[in-house]
Amino acid sequence: MGEIIVIPRRCFLATALVLGMAMFFNSGELLAQSDTLEIREGTGIPAEVRNIYRKGADYLAKTQNDNGSWGKGGGGHGDESAGVAALATMAFLSTGEDPNFGKYARNVRAALRFIIRKQNNTGYVPGNMYVHGFAMLALSEAYGAVDDDMLWDGSKKKKRSIGEALELAVKLAVSSQKKNPSKGWRYSPNDNSADTSVVGAVLMGLLAARNAGVDVPDSTIDGALKYMKQMTSAKTGNVNYSGMGGLGGSGARSAIACLVFAIGKRKHWKDFEGTTKFLRDSLEASAQQNWPYYERYYKAQALFQADYKAWQQWNRNTVRLLRTMQADNGCIGNSAHGRAYSTSMSLLALALNYRFLPIYER
């Protein structure tokens, strides 16, 4: 038999004490790492979410027009078809399916081709700056993920690449802001006024483009964030719509402001704290009747960025709601912008469960 080595008790206790102290002092770090991993990776996709997403994405795939669009494209502020196509593209990309060879690859390519073909020579994607902002967002998330050679495969006429279209769209947004006294945007690239809803849509598109590696001037981001700050009450978290009128409560506007403050790295602002508190305090409130899909879309992202535990609660409630709203054919609701819009927005309100799109990272 080999020699048995006896470790003196005092040495054993000393070793245990050192290990215990190391575990004690590192426990906070380990817990923080665990929390961060859960936020980044999630804890698994609930079956209800997978089912809603599968049915919704299949509905969008089946109802897409031959030219890559959905519906007739009309809207209260011009042709909004490229905006709806952008939202549907985001919904497809957020499923995690391979955008080049996966189930919805053909739908993604068709939608992107439609958006790029709608873009004019100035870089503008009509018919309003909401559309332009959503188009930039979709192009940013597709950039580097969708193969340009496959995108235009078989086309005899050379078309813009995703990167070229995105860079041109960014330049249009930047030049439009320079002409705007408020350093924001409204419905037209030539508007001299601004509102927080449009600014949020364009700013998220620009932040996504920057995240994708496209050059976006700091002055453009800073100017838009300053405008949002001016329109926000740090005390109440209410966000004004346009001008310098009274601050009325709006879940959508507070969510938009909260989101751009977070993605724009302004979490240290009191305005971010105010909008976060507004959203947390109104967690159980129903979305506004006029634009419920829009509000849920922004609340999902804002709560995820601002308060993960609050997002978890809100997400559970939203999953139950959308499950009851979804028709047998996969469509979720309807709106003035059409069923593809309401379905895409609803799916994107659940997209944080998947953690696939870079703009949703925290």
Q: What's the mean pLDDT in 27-45?
A: 54
Query: Which CATH number goes with the domain that contains 267?
Result: 1.50.10.20
Q: How large a percentage of the chain has pLDDT more than 90?
A: 74
Determine the pLDDT at residue 114.
97
Total tally of structural domains belonging to the chain: 1
Q: Is residue 32 part of a domain?
A: no
Q: Which residues contact 17 (CB under 8 A, 6 or more apart)?
A: none
**Residue keyed to tokens 């705007």:** 180
Q: Is residue 24 part of a domain?
A: no
Which tokens go with 340?
A: 């593809």
* Interatomic CA distance for residues 118 and 99, integer angstroms: 21
| 42-66 confidence digits (pLDDT tens) | 557 889 999 999 999 999 999 999 9
Q: Is residue 45 part of a domain?
A: no
* Interatomic CA distance for residues 230 and 290, integer angstroms: 25
* Interatomic CA distance for residues 241 and 247, integer angstroms: 8
Q: Is residue 92 part of a domain?
A: yes
Q: What are phi and psi of 31, to 5 degrees?
A: -65, -40
Expressed as residue numbers, the domain containing 180 is: 50-354
Q: What are phi and psi of 167, to 5 degrees?
A: -60, -40
* Interatomic CA distance for residues 131 and 79, integer angstroms: 9
* Interatomic CA distance for residues 361 and 359, integer angstroms: 6
Determine the pLDDT at residue 360.
78
Q: Find out whether 173 and 202 touch, Cβ atoms under 8 Å.
A: yes
| Reported confidence tier of residue 36, pLDDT bands at 50, 70, 90 | low
Q: Is residue 339 part of a domain?
A: yes
Q: Find out whether 77 and 31 touch, Cβ atoms under 8 Å.
A: no
| Reported confidence tier of residue 77, pLDDT bands at 50, 70, 90 | low
Nearest Cα residue to 332 out of 91, 66, 135, 45: 91
Higher-pLDDT residue of 157 and 121 is: 121
Q: Is residue 361 part of a domain?
A: no
Nearest Cα residue to 298 out of 158, 161, 203, 172: 203
Q: Is the entire prediction scored with pTM above 0.85?
A: yes
Q: Which residues contact 278 (CB under 8 A, 6 or more apart)?
A: 236, 237, 238, 249, 254, 258
Q: Is residue 271 part of a domain?
A: yes
Q: Is residue 161 part of a domain?
A: yes
Q: Return the bridge partners of 341, or none.
A: none
How far apart, in Å, are the Cα atoms of 71 and each of 13, 79, 80, 139? 74, 11, 10, 21
Q: What's the mean pLDDT in 293-317?
A: 97
* Interatomic CA distance for residues 129 and 186, integer angstroms: 6
Q: Where are the alpha helices (DSSP H) in 143-217?
A: 148-151, 162-178, 196-211
| Single-letter amino acid code for the residue at 322 | L
Q: Find out whether 305 and 259 touch, Cβ atoms under 8 Å.
A: yes
Q: What's the mean pLDDT in 117-133?
A: 97
Q: Is the pLDDT of residue 268 over 50?
A: yes
Q: What is the per-residue DSSP string for 27-88?
A: HHHHHHHHHHHHHHH-S---HHHHHHHHHHHHHHHHH--TTS--S----TTS--HHHHHHHH
